[in-house]
Every structure is written in C-alpha cells, then in structure tokens.
Structure 1
Amino acid sequence: SNNLFNFNQGLKHGDVVGVWSTNSYNWVQIQYACFRLGLILSTVNPGYQVDELDYLLRRAQIKALFMPGADSKHNVVNKFQTVLTDVLIKDSQTDFTSNDGVLDQTLVDGVKPEDPAVIMFTSGTTGKPKGAYLSHFTAAYDVDLGDKTFCNPLPFFHAFGGMLGNLGMCGVPFKNVIPNFFYNVKLVVNAINKHQCTYLIGTPTMIIDILDYLETNNIKLDSLKGINTGGSSMPINVAHRVHKIIPTCTDVRVAYGATEAGELLSRGHNQMIGYWRDEKNTRAAIDSSNWYKSGDLATMDEHGYIKIVGRTKEMIIRGGENIYPREVEELLHKHPDILDAYVHHRTGEEVCAWIQPKDPNKKPTEAEIREFCKQRITYFKVPQYVLFVDKFPLTPAGKVKKFVMREQSCRILGDLATMNEQGYIKIIGRTKEMIIRGGENIYPREVEELLHKHPDILDAYVCGVPDDRLGEEVCAWIQPKDPNKKLTEAEIREFCKQRITYFKVPRYVLFVDSFPLTPAGKVKKFVMREQSCRILGLNEK
C-alpha cells in the first residue's frame, strides 16, 4: 500500500482506480492496496476493446488504470496498450511487495466502513453496462471465513472471484490458488492436485466441465472437500454427480448473488449501495425502503426455505401458461445421455432446448427428447425445438448467455434476428448473407454499422468471399466521403481491430465509387461477391 501511495501522482481518498488485466497475484495486491488507502477499485473486463474501455473509464471517472506491461504474458488475451490519453497508467506487473513497510496511519484511519470500496460493471447484455458499487462494510460482510486452500479460476473482474475468492484472506490464514490467467480446465485440475486445494469456487458450467474432464481422463481430486458455486442455477443432478466423481467432496454450496430468483426482494449489509453515477437504474433496482428487486422468481415453503425457480425476464408465457426454464432444464439433466442443457424462449414464446450430449456419437433424437419430457411434465412445457450443441455461449464469468442462444436459435431455425429480454425482435440481417469464418458467425450488418462510424466513410457494405482454409473471409466495399482523400486498407483494418473481435475484421477492403443496386435501390450482394472474387483473383464457390 505504501509503495502504491508513493507514486500515486496526486491520487487521493475517494479517487477511482481501474484494473484492466486477467487474473494474477499482482491484481490482488492492487486490490488490497486500494482498499487500504481508501481508493475505489473499478474492475475492467480484460477483453474490452477501445469503445468499451472508453465508456467504462469515463463512466467510472477512473483516475488511474493498472494494466499489463508491453512484455507481459497477459497480452495473449488482448492488446492492452491502446488506452485513453488522459488516463494515468501504472504497470500492474510492478512488485508491490518490496516497500519500506512504513505507512502513514492517518491514511488507513481515514477509510470508513460506509465508503465505496469497489465498482463492478455488469455484462451489459441489454444495454450499456451498469456499475454496481459496494462499501467496505459490504465487501467485508461477504467474506467467507474459514481455514481453507481455495482454487479460484473465476475472473477477478467479477464479484464471485474478485470479492469472495480474493478477500477470504482478510479474516483467517487462507491460501488463494490462482490456476490460470483465464479459465482452462486442465490447469485448474492440475492446480488442485499440486497445491492440495480443499475448496473450489466456480460457475455451474465450469463444475460440469471439470467433472467431465475428470471422468474422461480418470483423474482423482482426493484433497477436495467442498465446492462453492454460483452465477447461475445448478441442477441437483450435478451436485449428485460431484459426490459420485469426487467422493471426498461432500460440501456443495450454491451461492446466491445480486445477479442471479415471484420476485424475490432482499435487504441487508451484503447488498450493493447502487449503480455508480446512475440514479435512474439505482431507483429501478432498489426501492425507497432499500429493498433490492432481484429479478428472481422464488417460492417459500412453510418452514421459510426459499427456492429459486428462475428469472422473471427468462420466464416463458405460452398460451397464458407460465413456464420456468429451470424446471425444464432440471428435467433434461436427468436424461442419461445428456451432459448439460439450457432452455430459452423463441419467437412466439415457444420452448427451445439446447442440449450437449454426453457422447457426441450417441446423441438422442429430437423425438426421443420430446417423448422423455412428455412423460414427466405438462404438455405445454415440452420443448418444441431441440438443438444439439458441443458447447454453450458463455460470459467471461462462465454464465450462459441466453440472449445469444436466442439469436443463434433464430438463425438456425430460419430467422436472422435478435430478441431482447422483453421479447422484442430486431432483424440483423439475412441468413444467406451471414459469413461463417472458421466456425465463427459474422453478421455483415454489425461490421457495416461500425464502418459507418468512421469519419471518412460515406457508405459501406460487407460480403463474404471464399477462403480455402477458413471457409469464408470478410470483404468490405467502402465508398469514401472524399474520393481524393482515400483511406488505406491498413487504416480500415486497424480501425476495426480496436472495436470488434479479430475474426470480424475485414480481410479484404475494396474502395468503390458506387454499389451494384436493384431497380428498387437495394444492394445486390451476390454481385458484390462475384465482382470481389474477380478483382481479388479468388475462385467463386
């Protein structure tokens, strides 16, 4: 803490400090130093690109940003060197353990329990991310005291890994094993055995992945006594599977957090203060009596036990009947040939199930899945659509992104559209125009909308062209605002690289004066593709 303060360049109590990095021990050092000095820690998703980073830095009013150095191994995750010019940058790989041990005690004494301690931004799946902030008292209240050796593979920029996982050392002797920069099942299992970890924290998706890895490779985890999971619901069958594959693991707990079940209201010391600099969303989430509206659906039995049954925004209303996805998911997990399953609603509020078979070579048929469900649940809850998948779209914290599932289901089933949590549909393109590059789906409209933000581009359209190695590549046709001030291909690609995922960046850029149009004025993309292949010397497929 003293070392951080010595080069603080004017940082003072209450200033916001950002950490933009994957997991490391230095991350934890910075976290503790900020808490001790009364600086507010704002965690930043290490996958953020320029536009996302720009929004967060300005929204949180970050005064200093810690990030990996130019030669850091963390750079395999992202290109960290592009940041805002007015932000003070410190190197998060600096060794903060080497200091003189002298600290002005008045700095520590000035930190009050009710002061803001940390800002953690939501995933932003339905709009701009909101920064939930916690006080020092809340952070300490959430600590799970116990003499344990924890394996913590969760991303630190999320509350589960960064708060519960990292702050346990505050109260008792506590070992926190960080197995990876970002989640890797092999590294997690190796770390548990190497360090004889007694507890593991992770999302249900991670736990299922670890169990599958152990079973496939016949590996034992004899030191493991317990698992703390959270982030989303965990089917009871997964808990039974834990005990079967890891007999020593008899303590399985599902944590309830602010982002996970009629609507459940809660109030207490472990609750966030509100959303940082966002009074509107704070009022929507917390009422005047300080009750937090969780958005979770729950039931309470006669003994006062609460059972989370789903999310209000995920509930499916089909023909006036309420369907809770979790109920159908719990049932699907009982099928002997299913490894994992998630359910969402599709256009018209029909039930769509995504299923990951235990054995890809022995997957059940759609008819068998529906018949399995018909014999066990009411007819209107039976999935009308069944899609078999190898994996699920996940957030960096390991939660399943159901909005992505809905989008992909629409595409697979003949629609190319997005649907928000209220069920409204947005058309994002045509199925015939979608580009599949190395197994990744690219929607031309997304790239086109980005290109239209470039100050020197008048109009732009994107099409797919054949590629022998990846199947398809992205080709952009660009009409400059000023023909005499033509941009270079490299400038266009660099503009895109800073704002979208690498595989969406155009491989080919063609500058044109006009586009091939139908009599109705629509762009003929099939002609663009043909002409692109001719110009680039590619074989049309």
Structure 2
Amino acid sequence: MTTSLPSYASGTSEVPLLGDTIGDNVDRTVAAFGDRDALVDTTSGRRWTYREFQADVNAVALGLMGLGVEKGDRVGIWSPNCPEWTLVQYATAKIGAILVNINPAYRVHELEYVLRSAGVRVLVAARAFKTSDYAGMIERVRPNLEALEHVLLLDGEEWTSLCANGKSADPAALAERSASLSPDDPINIQYTSGTTGFPKGATLSHHNILNNGYFVGELCGYTEVDRICVVPPLYHCFGMVMGNLAATSHGACIVYPAPSFDPLATLNAVATERCTSLYGVPTMFIAELAEAAFDEYDLSSLRTGIMAGSPCPVEVMKQVIERMGMTEVTICYGMTETSPVSTQTRADDSIDLRVSTVGRVHPHLEIKIVDPETGLTVPRGEAGEFCTRGYSVMLGYWEEPDKTAEAIDAARWMHTGDLAIMDGDGYVKITGRIKDMVIRGGENIYPREIEEFLYTLPDIQDAQVIGVPDAKYGEELMAWVQLRPGAEPLDAQALREFCTGKLAHYKIPRYVHIVDEFPMTVTGKIRKVEMRERSVELLGVDAGDR
C-alpha cells in the first residue's frame, strides 16, 4: 500500500546563511561597491553612493551614542518613507539599539501604547505627514512616558545637531561598539496589526532579517547592477527587509519613489532611474496598471520584482508580466513574525506556478501544513494550517511570553493562522485565513476562491469577499467590488447571473457593494474586519432591498 507524502518540505541550499551583523554586512558591501549607487530618493532628488551612505549611517550611529543610547535601548522611528528612515535603520543596527517601527497611520492612543510597551528612549519622527500632526501627537503623549528622553524631529534642530555631532565624533567608539554585537541580538521590534486588542511587538534579530533579505535577493537574482523600486512602507518588513536589506546585502541600489504610495510617482521612478525590480502589494500594481498615462512610461528596464503582502490575483499577475515586462517577477509569502518570507516562487517557474502558488520553501527553512485540530501533518493535497520553522522565526513577542507561546510551539514551529495546500512538488497555495473562513449553512467557504473567480469578470478591477451575519444560514457572502473606469454599472443580480453555473450556488455572493476604494492598512492590506463592520451597518438599512 502506498501512502501520500506528508505536507512537509525543507529548503536545502548550497549558499550558506550569513553570520554577520547588519553593520558588518553593509561595511563589506561598501568595501566591494563603494562608488556604486546605494540610495536614491526621487522626491527630494538626493542620492548616495555606498561610501556616502556609510558615512551618513556612521554619523547617525555616533550621534545616537552621544545621546547615551546603549546596546539594547529602544529607538523609535515614526515617519513615512524617506532616506532618514533608512539611515536610522542601519545606524541603530551598528550600535546594537533596537529599532521600533511605528506605523505612520497610528493615532494618539496607538502611538502611546507602542512607545510605552517597547520602552522607547529616543524617538525619531517626521514633523507631520498629510493630515497627521506627528509633533502634536508626540507632545500629547510625552508627559505620560517616563522612558522617552529624546524626540528628534527630522526637520528640527535636534536631528541636525545629532548628525553634526556624529560627524565630528571619534569613529573608534563606533568600531568598539559594533565589535561587541552578536548576530543573535534583538535589533528590531515590529508591531503586528492585530484584528482585536492592541498589536504585539514581533522581536527580530540581525540573523533573522539580514538572512531573510539576503535570500529574497538571491531568489530574485540580485547583483550590484540591480536597482530596486521600494514602494511598500519601510516600517513594514516588505520595505526594510525585502527592500533595503535585500539591496544592501547584494550591492544593489534602493530607489524610493515617494513618501507613501503614489502610482504615477512609482511609474516615473522606474522609468527615470531605470529600475530593474519593482515591489508592491496587489492593490498597488492594480492602481499602477489602471493609470491612464501608463503607456507613456518606459518600463523596459524592469526584469523582476515582488508581489506580496496579500494574495495576488491571477489576472493582475498576468498583466504585470505582460504589460510591465516583469518576466521574472516572484511572489513571496510570509508574515512579520518570520522576518517575513517563508516561501517564494523562482524565476524559472512556469507562469502558471507563479500566478497560482506562493512558491516553494525558502532556503534554510522548513514548512509543513497541519490539521488545526490535531496538529498532525496532513497529506499533500489536503488543506490545513501553514507552519514554518528555522532561522527566520522571531525571538518572540516583546515582553509577552504567553502570546509567544500561543504562536510558537514547543518545537519552535510558528503557527501562521493561514490555510494552505501543498502539492506533490512542494508548491504551496494559500487558500485563506482560518479566521476568514465563512461557514454558510454548514458549508466551509474560502473567500479567496470566489475573489479569484470575480477577477475574470472584465468590468471588475478588484473584488473582496466577506461573510456577514444571516439569520437562516449563519453567514452569507457579500462582495465588495471596485469597477474599472468606464465600466457598466453592476448590481447584485447581474453579478449573481455571471456566477450562476460557474460557482456552486452556496459560493455565489448574495450581496454586492460597489466601492471606489477599500479600507486598507498603510501597507496596502485590505482591512476585512472594517469591511464586515461597515457591511453590517449597510445591510441593517438596505437588506430588504437586496
């Protein structure tokens, strides 16, 4: 009797893990590629070679040491994307301080929670961005925070003085500090956006994020000639690890098109800086492709890139390959707690695999898919919870051992909460979140499957499916739909007619809500929790008309 292989895979690799700290690694890159471009900020027109970048990073590092920042002290950064964000990232790594990434969208109560939870001693921040008065919010919470000693506004005298003082300080002090650091030291706290309660601080080491960035870059084929357009927010792993660290570990150039996502600025940056790689979540690529002026930009330099952060619609992925020329584009899957990437498609994978899976296990990692009830590994081809183990798993949630134990089991497997299927060749499909699953009249429904189908309707630009309360079935399906410019109006009846005969009857959305945009986090992830809340309100008023 033959038995199916278990849904388990390990990432073998002839390329060893890096044993560096982040500071040592970037110094090695400077030694090899000092005169090459390291960083370009298209908004301000500023640019750095690797040697210039090293000099400014060292100045910020020495400036922070001059404020008394010790190894293990927490330094917060609260700003949209800008070069100073990156200088602080590498400077804190060089002195062993723990960088606390603060979501640019946070409001007062969230800011105070993170600063208090992490015990932030020094906060570097933009003065304001869009409608957010960062300086004002900081002043409101500062009296309540005993640990917070210094606030450095990026356009303020304190920041200018810190950089100036660092440039005149003794570099031997920095060398001595850097030599005392271990790759296993905590170096970064990233607060994950919880759906209930306050966020948890995923604590990551040099070893975690440097290696993850490095191997993301390896699978994208990066060398010193690559130029990476980093669109996602730096406060998130997508920006600071998959973008910054993938670049600096290969001598590639980082290009920031705008402080926050702007589709035209992104297309312009790719064209003018001749970027070879472009990053984004699916909603970003959808917006870029929908620009009326899209065809006016020369994107012929693009070779690769990454779509990640949320499931990538098949039709969008095909357009990215065909219209943007990103023939080697990859899909990555992961989460903040795993530094972040656990699986990635390869450049030589077929288009079908690259549009229908999140690839295979990353080098030096293990993955498995388990029955959420028993914890046992399921056979290949069966759905279960995706788990991963290896160098990338976080040290834990900052000062929350109980929460850590809920996520990481005794064998150091990280339980992601994502539902997945592994095929016979080890390729993984993410089918939904355990908590996103809709149960309608006893039938388990995964919104992802329905969303993929709705993308095939020509007039639909984007679609998100959620479950809403229903007296008869427990839950009913509701589709939020974003139409293409110039599309014919769409109502629930027309959408149901399109689905009839193509989807099982219980998978056809009962309700349809047309929107111009979806509620999103700053990283571009759809906020389905907010969609459900708003849908309950909408249906409470209009349910009788649908």
For this structure pair, what is the TM-score category when the shorter chain's length is used for normalisation?
Answer: 0.7 to 0.9
Q: CA deviation at 1:6?
A: 4.1
Matched, 1:319 2:441: yes
Which residue is equivalent to 1:464?
A: none
Unaligned 5+ residue runs, structure 2? 1-57, 341-368, 370-383
Q: Distance in 2 between matches of 1:122 and 1:172?
A: 28
What secondary structure, in the 3-state scheme, does the structure 2 residue paired with 1:165 have?
helix
Code of the residue aligned with 1:266 in structure 2: it is T
Which residue is equivalent to 1:233?
A: 311
Matched, 1:136 2:206: yes
> Is this contact kept in 2: 1:117–1:139, CA < 8 A?
no
Which residue is equivalent to 1:525?
A: none
Instruction: Determine what percentage of the aligned residue pairs are the same residue.
Output: 37
Residue by residue, what CA displacement relative to the aligned partner does 1:213-259 show, whole Å, maximum 9, x if unpaired? 1666654422222220111001111111112322x211221111126
Unaligned 5+ residue runs, structure 1? 417-541
Q: Distance in 2 between matches of 1:22 and 1:184?
A: 13
Residue by residue, what CA displacement relative to the aligned partner does 1:485-539 show, whole Å, maximum 9, x if unpaired? xxxxxxxxxxxxxxxxxxxxxxxxxxxxxxxxxxxxxxxxxxxxxxxxxxxxxxx
Identify if the C-alpha distance between structure 1 residues 217 and 364 changes in structure 2 by more than 3 Å, giving closer, same or farther: farther
Which residue is equivalent to 1:296?
A: 418
Return the structure number with greater relative CO, CA threshold 8 A, min gap 6: 2
Map of 1:203-222 to 2, 5 A cutoff? 203-213=281-291, 218-222=296-300
Identify if the C-alpha distance between structure 1 residues 195 and 219 changes in structure 2 by more than 3 Å, giving closer, same or farther: closer
Q: 1:102 aligns with which of 171, 196, 209?
A: 171
Root-mean-square deviation (CA), in Å? Answer: 2.1
What secondary structure, in the 3-state scheme, does the structure 2 residue paired with 1:233 have?
coil
Matched, 1:284 2:406: yes
Q: Distance in 2 between matches of 1:352 and 1:75?
A: 32
Q: Distance in 1 between matches of 2:424 and 2:107?
A: 50
What secondary structure, in the 3-state scheme, does the structure 2 residue paired with 1:377 have?
coil
Higher helix share: 2
Code of the residue aligned with 2:112 in structure 1: it is D
> Is this contact kept in 2: 1:314–1:325, CA < 8 A?
yes
Residue by residue, what CA displacement relative to the aligned partner does 1:191-217 show, whole Å, maximum 9, x if unpaired? 111111111111111111111116666
Q: How high is the TM-score relative to the length of structure 2?
A: 0.72
Per mean C-alpha deviation after superposition, the further-off stretch among 21-30 and 40-49 is: 40-49
Matched, 1:353 2:423: no
Q: 2:72 aligns with which of 6, 10, 14?
A: 14
Q: 2:278 aligns with which of 191, 197, 200?
A: 200
Identify if the C-alpha distance between structure 1 residues 214 and 103 changes in structure 2 by more than 3 Å, giving closer, same or farther: farther
Which residue is equivalent to 1:90?
A: 152
Per mean C-alpha deviation after superposition, the further-off stretch among 86-95 and 17-26 is: 86-95
Map of 1:384-533 to 2, 5 A cutoff? 384-414=510-540
Q: CA deviation at 1:2?
A: 4.7
Q: CA deviation at 1:75?
A: 6.6
Number of aligned residue pairs: give it: 412
Which residue is equivalent to 2:123?
A: 65
Identify if the C-alpha distance between structure 1 residues 367 and 26 changes in structure 2 by more than 3 Å, giving closer, same or farther: same
Q: 1:111 aligns with which of 166, 181, 184?
A: 181
Rg bigger for which structure?
Answer: 1
Q: Distance in 1 between matches of 2:435 and 2:314?
A: 23
Code of the residue aligned with 1:394 in structure 2: it is M
> Is this contact kept in 1: 2:61–2:94, CA < 8 A?
no
Q: 2:81 aligns with which of 23, 29, 32?
A: 23
Q: CA deviation at 1:361?
A: 4.7
Identify if the C-alpha distance between structure 1 residues 302 and 6 changes in structure 2 by more than 3 Å, giving closer, same or farther: closer
Q: Distance in 2 between matches of 1:151 and 1:47?
A: 22
Residue by residue, what CA displacement relative to the aligned partner does 1:395-415 show, whole Å, maximum 9, x if unpaired? 000000001111111122126
Matched, 1:52 2:122: no
Code of the residue aligned with 1:99 in structure 2: it is K
Code of the residue aligned with 2:260 in structure 1: it is F
Per mean C-alpha deviation after superposition, the further-off stretch among 12-21 and 234-243 is: 234-243
Q: Distance in 2 between matches of 1:315 and 1:371?
A: 24
Identify if the C-alpha distance between structure 1 residues 373 and 270 changes in structure 2 by more than 3 Å, giving closer, same or farther: same
Q: How high is the TM-score relative to the length of structure 1?
A: 0.72
Q: Distance in 2 between matches of 1:47 and 1:338?
A: 28
Code of the residue aligned with 2:523 in structure 1: it is A
Q: Distance in 1 between matches of 2:436 and 2:171?
A: 53
